[in-house]
Structure 1
Amino acid sequence: MAYKPSSDKILFFTAGFLAIFGLVMVYSASSVKAASEHGMSSYFFLRQLAFAAIGLVLMYGVMKIDYRRWQNPRVLIPFLSLCVVLLLFVLTQPAINGAHRWLHFGSFGFQPSEFAKLAVLMFVAWFLHRYEGEINRFSRRLLPLGLAVGFFAVLIAVEPDLGQALCLCLIVTVLLFVAGLSWRYFLGAAALAIPAFYFFVVKVPYRWDRIQAFRNPFEDPMGTGWQITQSLIAVGSGGVTGLGLGASRQKLFYLPEASSDFLFAVIGEELGIIGTTLVVVAFLIYFLRGVRIALRARDRFGFYLALGITLMVALQALINISMVLALMPTKGIALPFMSQGGSSLWLNMLATGVLLNLSYQNKLAEAPG
């Protein structure tokens, strides 16, 4: 019988587990709010279920596309151009909670910045592959790459969504480090980061308030520290085994964004350390499988693309969990695959589809005969 390679099943089932677990927890965390606002406790759950079904179709479709096609300029340039147009257009839309992040189609909101991250990672992977060993040539290689990534980061930051912009820049920084970028450029970037922090964080009141709340959330628990203190109460209330699925008290309008950015807190409250550990282990497995796929990639484009996608998912999970546990200032970064919302879920499903194709192509290249 001829050898028939397949995609990484462990990665596939890990992503599926996170998405299904997320659906269960979204229902639990959003049921009270859904009943209050829409008269149906399953309202947000059914929306998320529809998003998950669409995401599964997208993941399956992308999984069937040879990942090398994404480096074709006839594919990559239109993808990047579309993201630029959408990122510019979203700035003309009405602000929601002070931010221009969503394009609305009826009751559905779509975030172009989510898909721009994937487009930028594909571009960076192509660039590092195309100019392998030349990244330390500042004016001809590093500067054009930096300007391109910086352009997208600025478009995302002015929405404003500084957290996503910084997350993107951090992923690219790691890829540049892996590509062999000289330490002097990292030191230069660190020096530039100091005045940037002053102007974009210290001089912006609501961002500085978040820093202050992070330093001591209990100094103003009814004001700037409310979200962090309620998150800590939720996690602390769960103990080892939790209060029980559906038994969260913090979702009763105490914890803001209980079904989205702070879903991990509800998991801790209802399922305790056992539930949160399960989530952390699942993300660790995803990270390790992603790195394994990257290391076995048949070319450098595949290596950088797989590593970038893996870092994107892992870094967002790390930031979200750290934020919930008050290890980082609060920021609107979703828990991958799990938080309520369609754009983030679709991005992660699409990105996983690319990883699954990479794993398939790796096995195909290694197949006997």
Structure 2
Amino acid sequence: MMMQTKVVSDKFIFMTALVLVAFGVIMVYSASSVLAAEKFGDHRYFLIRQGLWALVGLAAMLAAIKLDYRFYQKLWIVYLILFICVGLLVAVLFAPSVNNAHRWLRWRFVSFQPAEAAKLGLIIFLASYLSRRISDGLENFWRTFAPCAAVAGSMMVLIAVEPDLGMAMGMGCIMLVAFFVAGVPWRHQALMALGALPGLYYLLFHVSWRLERLLIFIDPWRDPQGRGFQSIQSMVAIGSGGLFGTGFAQGRQKLFYLPEPHTDFIFAQMGEELGLVGLVLIVIAFAIFLWRGVRVSLRAPDAFGALLGVNITMAIVGQALFNMSVTLGLAPVKGMPLPLISYGGSALLMTLIEIGILLNIAHQAREYVD
């Protein structure tokens, strides 16, 4: 009994999150200090903002730990969350554009990315809806698959219009994981994939810059000073780090060679300053999070907790793997942060809330076992 209680408590997830957040704040400072001094006249600009968001996020995580995760299963809560998420996704389309995209809601010095909230909203909806359908069977297409596809599809379309195709595809992956874990028949999932193909084909091959991005992924040297610049400089940064790196804050790629060294390409900056050893330690940290997250989900008291836990775990780890893959040249360049580490307040806040929910599942599982 003591061994089982220890398994589901779960201090590993809590400590891993704290370590990654603290490490992320430090690395954000290292990667952004030169840019911050040049752009804002204060080398601590990004450090202060990330530190404040980290404090807010940790407070939100502690609050989520104390709230019984089954609260999110209530239908009125699910509908309220969906209403808020869809409302924010619509509102952001009318917000001022940044780099020709409508992804941020801004108020004074605070900005928020609604897609991050929508991701958690979709996870909660899928876990709630599918867990209710499990007892009645998941074979019925119209009662099981269609409602989930309609909700997820609506969110994905709104996000793709921003445009943010990468986040939209990520939410599609979240739905597939939820279907797989819940046991939705493969034929339903195949229908969804077939239905999405025409849209993906159009978005990839009839939007010139997306097609160019795909071609650059295959061969970044076809445009080394243009679209291939990020991938090439990322690989240069990692290669320059060697085994042990150049030392903290000693990297050269952040001197306006590597674009976005504190956000999407912070993994490359870590590779330069901390070397292969540092990168391996980060990968191990996410592997521990994956291991413990899956164990917590398997020991959840009910189907809702299991689906909620595994989807939160896979969403965080999957995003981390994709970010690392982009940095290493194994995936097309896409603006997707490294969870808990990259600069970005709304992403950090929502990720910590998700971890808080996961930790509450662990707490409820411990009481269930006891």
Please report the TM-score for the alignment, with normalisation by the length of structure 1: 0.96
Is 1:155 the counterpart of 2:158 in the alignment?
A: yes
User: Which residue of 345, 349, 369 corresponds with 2:348?
Assistant: 345
What amino acid maps onto 1:46 in structure 2?
Answer: I
Alignment match, 2:126? 124
Cα separation, 2, equivalents of 1:62 and 1:315? 22
Structure 1's consecutive aligned runs of 4 or more residues displaced over 6 angstroms after TM superposition are 3-6
What amino acid maps onto 1:52 in structure 2?
Answer: A
Is 1:270 the counterpart of 2:295 in the alignment?
A: no
- CA shift at 1:182, angstroms? 2.0
1:309-335 Cα offsets, whole Å, 9 max, x none, are: 001101100110000001000111110
Contact 2:8–2:296 under 8 Å retained in 1? no
1:120-199 equivalence runs, <5 A: 120-132=122-134, 134-199=137-202
User: Which residue of 260, 284, 287 corresponds with 2:287?
Assistant: 284
Alignment match, 1:216? 219
User: Which residue of 41, 47, 52 corresponds with 2:49?
Assistant: 47
Cα separation, 1, equivalents of 2:285 and 2:27? 15
- CA shift at 1:4, angstroms? 11
1:244-272 Cα offsets, whole Å, 9 max, x none, are: 11011110111111100000000000000
1:74-132 Cα offsets, whole Å, 9 max, x none, are: 32211111111111010001110111010001122100110111011101001111000
Please report the TM-score for the alignment, with normalisation by the length of structure 2: 0.96
Alignment match, 2:92? 90
1:215-263 Cα offsets, whole Å, 9 max, x none, are: 0001211111011001010111101000111011110111111100000
Secondary structure of 1:131's counterpart equals helix
- CA shift at 1:7, angstroms? 3.9
Alignment match, 1:110? 112
Alignment match, 2:74? 72
Is 1:11 the counterpart of 2:13 in the alignment?
A: yes
- CA shift at 1:6, angstroms? 8.4
Is 1:362 the counterpart of 2:331 in the alignment?
A: no
202-211 vs 287-296, which deviates more?
A: 202-211
Unaligned runs of 5+ in 1: none
Secondary structure of 2:111's counterpart equals strand
Secondary structure of 2:342's counterpart equals coil
Secondary structure of 2:106's counterpart equals strand
Alignment match, 1:200? 203
Alignment match, 1:227? 230
% identical equivalent positions: 45
Alignment match, 2:253? 250
Secondary structure of 1:257's counterpart equals coil
What amino acid maps onto 2:338 in structure 1?
Answer: L
Secondary structure of 1:109's counterpart equals strand
User: Which residue of 330, 333, 337 corresponds with 2:333?
Assistant: 330
What amino acid maps onto 1:32 in structure 2?
Answer: V
Secondary structure of 1:165's counterpart equals helix
| CA RMSD in angstroms, aligned pairs only | 1.5
Unaligned runs of 5+ in 2: none
- CA shift at 1:18, angstroms? 0.7
What amino acid maps onto 1:268 in structure 2?
Answer: G
Cα separation, 1, equivalents of 2:203 and 2:222? 24
Alignment match, 2:32? 30
Contact 2:139–2:185 under 8 Å retained in 1? yes
- CA shift at 1:5, angstroms? 11
